[in-house]
Structure 1
Amino acid sequence: MSPNPGPRAAMRPAAAVNEDIRALWHDPRVGLTGDQRATHERLLTEWAAAVRADVVPAA
């Protein structure tokens, strides 16, 4: 199974994913644990997909 959601998969807005990223890493002076880094990477991937989905192709 592909790690990328298909075009019909429900996608959260980039702003919602960004809130989760900010909540995960609330103090940049403190490093993330291994599990938190994995979650951060997953959230960044989800955020990037949401941003790409918001782009409207030029006419």
Structure 2
Amino acid sequence: MPVTDQNRRPLSLFMTTGQVSNYTGASVLQDSLPAAQWMLGDRGYDADWFRDPWKRKG
């Protein structure tokens, strides 16, 4: 799971084994993400546990 800036340059990367859910990487990387005005992700990340920390960051 990569985290990139608006120019698609990598900021963070979390690699897992083949059968591990992307939620594992998302939860690990979430606290280290920089402030952002928007985030692009698929519907799989439309969950309260993922969105609530972003709301708290403002």
Which band: TM-score by shorter chain? under 0.3
Q: Which has the higher contact order (CA 8 A, sep 6+)?
A: 1
Q: TM-score scaled by structure 1?
A: 0.27
Higher strand share: 2
Rg larger for: 1
TM-score by length of 2: 0.27
Higher helix proportion: 1
